[in-house]
């Protein structure tokens, strides 16, 4: 069981309103906050997402307010040393989520099997830049070489550790997941399919969803099975959980 949960801000951006709420807020730009989540309990230290690489090569020109001294320093400020991280879950496969995946030398690395297959054999053609924004080339090279033996491609429903499981979500990207954490305070769900609480409350997917029907299915499941839903881009997380402390 997970007994401690913290959220760490690893970047911010502003996007057109319809990216957050489909066919809505056309005259606005809306803020997004990228969160890394630290789950602890039962001898495990599990990260959800790793933030962007410091040298992302312009893949993320709009990403602002990254940790001043880098993601690893920010983690250490929270008492988390890279070598003590036991597992890392990435959702979705995007440069802002997977950029520091190679910095945790003792962690098992969890990616969506469906997302991995789609990256290598997409149904529709993609550009070189699209691939680079999904998995930056230095990370891809390591995933296909020395990190391969620590890589675990998750099934549609899979257990990561006691009290932590993942389910494939789709909706936003082929690689999008829901991470479920059992805690003394109920079941938490962390996902990139929910940008703002309004997505879930109104059944209004983000405009950058790849499949609206998948969004509606995952929203129905979240309402049914989770006591607490945390959107991995939602700036309101800092209001709901001051200093990023959930448990």
| pLDDT tens digit at each of 247 positions of the chain | 999 999 999 999 999 999 999 999 999 999 999 999 999 999 999 999 999 998 887 889 899 999 999 999 999 999 999 999 999 999 999 999 999 999 999 999 999 999 999 999 998 888 988 999 999 999 999 999 999 999 999 999 999 999 999 999 999 999 999 999 999 999 999 999 999 999 999 999 999 999 999 999 999 999 999 999 999 999 999 999 999 999 9
How far is the CA of 25 from the CAs of 17, 93, 200, in angstroms?
Answer: 5, 27, 16
pTM: predicted TM-score of the whole model, two decimal places: 0.98
> Looking at residue 187, what is its pLDDT?
98
> Looking at residue 56, what is its pLDDT?
85
- Structural domains of the chain, count: 1
Q: Is residue 227 part of a domain?
A: no
> Looking at residue 214, what is its pLDDT?
98
Q: Is residue 139 part of a domain?
A: yes
- CATH number of the domain enclosing 104: 3.60.15.10
> Looking at residue 232, what is its pLDDT?
98
Q: Is residue 192 part of a domain?
A: no
Residues with Cβ within 8 Å of residue 89, at least 6 apart in sequence:
46, 47, 48, 49, 110, 160, 166, 177, 179
Q: Is residue 75 part of a domain?
A: yes
Q: Is residue 50 part of a domain?
A: yes
89 bridge partner residues: 48, 110
Q: Is residue 63 part of a domain?
A: yes
Calpha distance 180→191 (Å, rounded): 9
Q: Is residue 210 part of a domain?
A: no
Around Cβ 101, how many Cβ atoms within 10 Å? 25
Q: Which domain does 43 fall in, by range?
A: 4-163+232-244
> Looking at residue 57, what is its pLDDT?
72
Q: Is residue 52 part of a domain?
A: yes
> Looking at residue 236, what is its pLDDT?
98
């Amino acid at each position: 069981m997970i007994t401690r949960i913290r959220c760490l801000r690893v970047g911010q951006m502003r996007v057109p309103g319809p990216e957050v709420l489909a066919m809505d807020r056309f005259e606005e730009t809306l803020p997004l906050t990228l969160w890394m989540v630290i789950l602890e309990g039962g001898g495990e230290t599990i990260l959800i997402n790793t933030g962007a690489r410091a040298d992302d090569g312009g893949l993320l020109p709009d990403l602002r307010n990254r940790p001043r001294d880098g993601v690893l320093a920010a983690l250490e400020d929270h008492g988390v040393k890279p070598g003590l991280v036991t597992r890392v879950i990435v959702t979705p496969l995007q440069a802002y989520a997977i950029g520091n995946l190679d910095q945790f030398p003792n962690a098992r690395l969890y990616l969506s099997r469906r997302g991995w297959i789609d990256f290598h054999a997409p149904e529709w053609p993609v550009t070189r830049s699209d691939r680079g924004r999904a998995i930056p080339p230095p990370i891809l090279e390591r995933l296909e070489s020395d990190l391969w033996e620590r890589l675990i491609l998750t099934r549609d429903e899979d257990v990561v550790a006691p009290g932590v499981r993942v389910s494939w979500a789709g909706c936003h990207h082929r690689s999008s997941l829901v991470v479920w954490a059992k805690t003394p305070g109920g079941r938490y769900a962390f996902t990139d399919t929910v940008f703002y609480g309004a997505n879930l409350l109104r059944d209004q997917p983000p405009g950058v969803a790849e499949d609206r029907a998948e969004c509606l299915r995952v929203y129905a499941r979240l309402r049914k099975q989770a006591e607490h839903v945390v959107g991995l881009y939602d700036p309101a997380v800092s209001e709901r959980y001051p200093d990023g402390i959930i448990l």
